[in-house]
Structure 1
């Protein structure tokens, strides 16, 4: 029941969304086509009766008529199968588009993607949850639910045939032939229930193994992706042997779990194959004495045998789809786990986020780590347009955390911070360069402004990137092409183009030599005279570009001092 509740928690929002009406139409069309296929199966069952009776009676005209009917039934089956597939795939497409956009909106909303990384270390491979698990969830849900519908309809459709046929079967008892009402139905029911119970017992470990397989496969792919992203660093360290050992370890873990999964699947496959195939001969053995006694013709025997198979298959549906059912459950578990992380991650900082058009004001700011260790207590700061602050401290003392706190990304803090949040930009130590053209990367996160090409080329020339001016519209993975220093200068171009009211620089010039660093900061001071600069850095040479310095002297003891600007 918990799995069904989790299923509806994932599926319910789609069926309550603005997409519900077209989705319902597609679902109804799919169900109608499925029911039509069941109808064709019922007609085929009666075709068995007349066709094999014609064979037994050596009725050639009946044989020809039956052959024509058979062709018509197969054409109908093909038409309804294709139509059902068409409507089901259109529904899958619509559902997947909505579900993916919805989960992406939650993941990106309130910057949960970043806060999950900071606070939820057990969230593995969110990219797989969004890209693969949603697709699997929808495909498996539709397939299993439509299969269940087909089984239920088939069960009640053929139950009547099988119940009537039970009257033809007599059981010898105390010298008399006893007719048990619905004997074939009860036999099919008992056989299916016992078979289903054994299948569930044999495959009870499959959901856990499927869950672990998806995780370990994703971990292996992620390790390969990390090498591609850091190819230069690995090559410089000559770390190929270490990386190969790490790949081997993750691959072995995936293959070990895969083989455990295969062993369970072999057991289930062998059992279900024998179990499902053996059902087809059970009614023949039961009805054989009466058939050979001439109490009913061959057509009746084949019709009852086919009806028994349909009823048994309907009741034993869960046995046939148990491997898929276990995979469906593991997909739901992965998605619901990810959804719960998104729902429970602390998205709102305790720092009151104020909005003001000029200046920056911080009051009573406290910052601490998740383990409770304090980084900053009762800090106050007031900056006017054009002011600048340098935060200086050894690594690991909370400099970057200070910027995350002021910008609302760090949840373990309290106080208030007010500034023009609509005109704010943060330059990090390793700038993000999105896939696409260099022009898009330089304007990120704003869309490119082709009317400002003159300003763009000027800014590139000022920071020393004029050699890239003829490559603005080329699409590459620029993070792999440009050096870290060039990437940081790209970030300074962004700042010059965006002209923010408040600019945070989190070791944004750490890869630049002293000359280029001074040139970039000088450009900021000259081009953006009213912009508030808050920088994190280790180099004391940065002090000359800032009015104030926040410096850590002892643990949690920060000194806020004013320095004389020399430029």
Structure 2
């Protein structure tokens, strides 16, 4: 069970880094020109402006409460000049309140988007740093849907933190201001019970506080289950969206295999969980709403009941009655802040818990102690890649490869062969330094650049130029180099489509995608090239032509390939048969 102190520390850890940020941003100050200012300072100034606007609204509310006494006394006394004068005063108060409310909203929204932009960049920089996103996935962490954490949870955290924080400040400020007013009125109007007057200092304040305390405790007891339900609501919704996205991404395979019925069943199962969780939220929300709505209705009528005796007895004027009712309502509402926002507070806490969990997993994956796996060293001269006594296991501890050893010199090509499931692809993950369930030593040439070419290349969203230049940006690679690389891998006919934006993973065949992967290798010019069945969709003649092109363009590169075709043996200098204890056991 997380304590209030731990929760406050979590919110502090999430919120404060933005306001301490030393990142410089350009600010335009009208005719004075642009200035480069620390982003943290900008955030602090905007927050201070929003707080000042809220304090201004509290002052206007107090003044309006005093105006109530004068205005309603004028009505009771039929004082027409005072009536018109107070209407003019009201116009000034209303205009000031409108201006402050508009600019508070504007400045709050400005702060929200700047804060959200900074947090989004912060989490993206950490999540996408040095393959951290992949390490989190391979380590089997409990962080679900990181895309939803970054896209939705950050926006909700910023919005709700500002809303709840400013609301709390308003409640405290209003309580402090109106307690003084209500305490003074309580001393002027004694507590009357069955015709007896009791001199209880500040009795109206104590009544409002006691009522709100009871309501707060009741709201917590009723609504605390909403925190977990809202957490599950966000997670289940993200899982459902991810399932829909996967069907869209793999729509060709689903359609060709007539898998719509299965996909519909899987998606329906996800949605059934959403519906069940939503019904649980509805039930709990219904009870909470009954409680809070009943409490609010009692709070509206209670001050009239308390003051009915003194008013009808002629001891107070109508203006005093209305001022007291207004002040009592403000104090009661301030005391009842957590009652009125309990549902929003439950949603906000779920958002905070998800972001804290996501950040904790990022820090855990970044910790050097958590990066288990092979040791990476520096190879001897003339050796581009050395694998010494490498053991590879599955996450559950099953042995895939044991005592794997080989050396690849610069300019040489090695073919790794073995039965399916023996761990060839996992060995490439190990060499790249991402597979945590491994032991041994991998040595690379000094400052060696490693490029992995998978069986199905990844094509990012955007133009074809972006897809070919990846992992570099399209701006980093000259057009003539891109055109030359496409021509050398047999994709010259795509040159006219370089600026076309499309889902290229759907528009191009797997064979064309594999040719693009070869074009990337020509552009990247790695020292070590790891090819995982990179020509499986190509015919043998095209495969041989592409390998010869690689050898001609990258004569010093060390190539390690995984493949099953016998024709690959003639395209490599040497080959190794990998034997897996798991594969042998399955064969037996």
> Taking structure 1 as the reference length, what is the TM-score of the superposition?
0.94
SS where residue 473 of structure 1 aligns?
A: coil
Q: Is structure 2 residue 9 aligned with structure 1 residue 5?
A: yes
Q: How does 1:514-525 map to 2 (within 5 A)?
A: 514-525=540-551
Q: Specify whether residues 428 and 554 from structure 1 end up closer, same or farther in structure 2 by C-alpha distance, changes over 3 A only.
A: closer
| Correspondence for 2:432 | 407
> Which among 162, 167, 181 is matched to residue 182 of structure 2?
162
Measured after TM superposition, the shift of residue 38 of structure 1 is: 0.3
Deviation per CA, 1:293-322, whole angstroms, max 9, x where unpaired? 111110000000000000000011001101
CA contact 1:49–1:300 (8 Å) conserved in 2: yes
Q: How does 1:482-521 map to 2 (within 5 A)?
A: 482-521=508-547
Measured after TM superposition, the shift of residue 472 of structure 1 is: 1.0
Measured after TM superposition, the shift of residue 422 of structure 1 is: 4.8
> Which among 378, 383, 391 is matched to residue 366 of structure 1?
391
| Correspondence for 2:410 | 385
CA contact 1:281–1:305 (8 Å) conserved in 2: no
Name the CA distance, whole Å, in 2 between partners of 1:131 and 1:212.
17
CA contact 2:417–2:578 (8 Å) conserved in 1: yes
CA contact 2:53–2:101 (8 Å) conserved in 1: yes
SS where residue 415 of structure 2 aligns?
A: strand
Q: Structure 2: which 5+ residue stretches go unaligned? A: 23-38
Name the CA distance, whole Å, in 2 between partners of 1:59 and 1:489.
91
Q: Specify whether residues 473 and 166 from structure 1 end up closer, same or farther in structure 2 by C-alpha distance, changes over 3 A only.
A: same
Measured after TM superposition, the shift of residue 16 of structure 1 is: 2.9
> Which among 35, 52, 55 is matched to residue 75 of structure 2?
55
| Correspondence for 1:544 | 570
Name the CA distance, whole Å, in 1 between partners of 2:172 and 2:508.
61
Q: Is structure 2 residue 21 aligned with structure 1 residue 17?
A: yes
SS where residue 538 of structure 2 aligns?
A: coil
Measured after TM superposition, the shift of residue 369 of structure 1 is: 2.6
| Correspondence for 1:532 | 558
SS where residue 108 of structure 2 aligns?
A: helix
Measured after TM superposition, the shift of residue 110 of structure 1 is: 2.6
Name the CA distance, whole Å, in 2 between partners of 1:370 and 1:451.
39
Q: Specify whether residues 68 and 463 from structure 1 end up closer, same or farther in structure 2 by C-alpha distance, changes over 3 A only.
A: same
Q: Structure 1: which 5+ residue stretches go unaligned? A: 559-567
Q: How does 1:208-287 map to 2 (within 5 A)?
A: 208-287=228-307
Name the CA distance, whole Å, in 1 between partners of 2:249 and 2:446.
35
Name the CA distance, whole Å, in 2 between partners of 1:457 and 1:163.
81
CA contact 1:280–1:306 (8 Å) conserved in 2: no
CA contact 2:141–2:361 (8 Å) conserved in 1: no
Q: Which stretch of the first structure deviates more once superposed, 517-526 or 100-109?
A: 517-526
> Which among 184, 209, 212 is matched to residue 189 of structure 1?
209
Measured after TM superposition, the shift of residue 13 of structure 1 is: 2.3
Q: Is structure 2 residue 371 aligned with structure 1 residue 348?
A: yes
SS where residue 474 of structure 1 aligns?
A: coil
Deviation per CA, 1:390-417, whole angstroms, max 9, x where unpaired? 1111222111111111111112223232
> Taking structure 2 as the reference length, what is the TM-score of the superposition?
0.91
Q: Which stretch of the first structure deviates more once superposed, 265-274 or 249-258?
A: 265-274
| Correspondence for 1:123 | 143
Name the CA distance, whole Å, in 2 between partners of 1:92 and 1:469.
43
CA contact 1:420–1:501 (8 Å) conserved in 2: no
CA contact 1:438–1:473 (8 Å) conserved in 2: yes
Deviant stretches of 4+, over 6 Å: none
Name the CA distance, whole Å, in 1 between partners of 2:193 and 2:552.
108
Name the CA distance, whole Å, in 1 between partners of 2:230 and 2:346.
7
Q: Is structure 2 residue 160 aligned with structure 1 residue 140?
A: yes
Q: Is structure 2 residue 54 aligned with structure 1 residue 29?
A: no
Q: Which stretch of the first structure deviates more once superposed, 65-74 or 275-284?
A: 275-284
CA contact 1:360–1:382 (8 Å) conserved in 2: yes
Measured after TM superposition, the shift of residue 67 of structure 1 is: 1.1
Q: Which stretch of the first structure deviates more once superposed, 200-209 or 253-262?
A: 253-262
> Which among 426, 436, 439 is matched to residue 452 of structure 2?
426
Q: Specify whether residues 453 and 153 from structure 1 end up closer, same or farther in structure 2 by C-alpha distance, changes over 3 A only.
A: closer
Q: Which stretch of the first structure deviates more once superposed, 127-136 or 547-556?
A: 547-556
CA contact 2:399–2:581 (8 Å) conserved in 1: no
Q: CA RMSD in A?
A: 2.1
Q: Specify whether residues 163 and 335 from structure 1 end up closer, same or farther in structure 2 by C-alpha distance, changes over 3 A only.
A: same
Measured after TM superposition, the shift of residue 554 of structure 1 is: 5.3
CA contact 1:40–1:73 (8 Å) conserved in 2: yes
Figure out how many residues of one structure are paired with residues of the other and give that number: 558
Name the CA distance, whole Å, in 1 between partners of 2:86 and 2:510.
77
Name the CA distance, whole Å, in 1 between partners of 2:468 and 2:225.
51
Measured after TM superposition, the shift of residue 526 of structure 1 is: 2.4
